Structures are given as structure tokens and as C-alpha cells.
Amino acid sequence: MVAHNNQLPNSHFHKRWMDRVKTWFNQPARKQRRRIARKAKVAKLAPRPSGGLLRPVVRPPTVRYNMKTRLGRGFTLEELKEAGINKKVARTVGIAVDHRRKNHSLESLQENVQRLKVYASKLVLFPGKGGKAPSAIIKVADKEELGAVQQVMGDALPLPKPEQPLETRAVEDKDESVYHECRVLRSEQRLEGLRAKRLREKEEEKK
């Protein structure tokens, strides 16, 4: 029994802390498992592109991000109509469709329509039961084309990177130091009021 008003002894010395430690020794095996899963997924998609469906080029919302471009969810119904592709046929030939998105500018509409036309020109479509082309812009491949089919690794049409030309100019050799010029200008700005005051005082003394 504890004397007076002291704390009761309640020490925990049997927690088995070594059983509660979290270890990550399974990471190398998980890395190998993920790599095998990716390889199996690509083989399952063959001969379709490993990157999945064709996505449109869109601009993110808000002023902070709208100068950039990224791949969107799917093409609008207006873009598919301008390109001459049926919305139901588009899903069967590897084109993503988004019925919610709207075109708010003519530039984005024309850019994505051109993207659809380029994809249709490069598309190698395997013949179906009827052997007919599902659209006027999409053609069924011949036997020669089918024999030379290779799976595209990555996106079918990667996101185009905007070209930013670098402006160059000749190096100017100056004898004067730019640092010295900045110091002189700073000092002139700082002493402008004091020099004007002294000038006024000299003019008053002459009078």
C-alpha cells in the first residue's frame, strides 16, 4: 500500500514493442509485382496503345493555370461532329467521349478536331463481322497493314509541347561596372533632398 496521497504503481513493462514495429522489407518484392502487373496490362491491351484512349488537349481552369495545356477527360460531341465521327463509334475505336464538356473557344475546337483527324489517319482498324468502315473518316486496314501492326507504347498522340524560341543577343563589353552605376544612382536618389537643401541655403546667403 502506498503511503499518503501518492500515485499508485502502474508500470507497463510487458508491451512487446518489437511486435509493434512497422517494417518495409516487402518493398523490393512489391516493386517487382507492380512491374509484372504493368507488363501484363500492356499485353492485355495489345495491339491497342498502352496509354489507353485518345484524350483531347484542354486548358485547366482559373487564371493561375489556364496558360498550360493538359490531356482532358474526353472529346465533346461538337468536336466529334466536326470531325465526322459518331459518338457511339468513337468509344469502339479508342476515342474518349465526354458529353459534359463544352467548347468555349473556336481555337480549342479546331485543335481537337485536327487531333481526331490525325488519329483517324494513323488508325489501323481490324475488320469486323461486316467488314465495313464504321465512319467515312475511318478506314478498315488491309492484310498488309494488319501484318505490320505494332503496339504503340504510351499515348496514341502525346501531348504537343509548345515551342518557346529563345531570344539571343550579342554580348556587350562594357568598361564600366553595372554594379557601380547602380550604387551611384542609389546614392544620388538618397542625397537628392540634402543637396537641394544646401543649394537653397547657398542662394539665400548670396542674397
pLDDT in tens, 73-83: 999 999 999 99
List phi, psi (to 5°) of 140: -80, 140
Q: How many residues does the chain have?
A: 207
| Global pTM value | 0.66
- Give the list of residues 6+ apart from residue 108 with CB closer than 8 angstroms, or none: 57, 58, 59
Residues 17 and 23 sit within 8 Å (Cβ to Cβ): no
- The alpha-carbon radius of gyration of the chain (Å, integer) is 35
- In a 3-state reduction of DSSP, which class is residue 201? helix
Cell of 135: 465512319
pLDDT in tens, 5-23: 888 888 877 888 888 888 8
Report which residue type is found at 161.
K
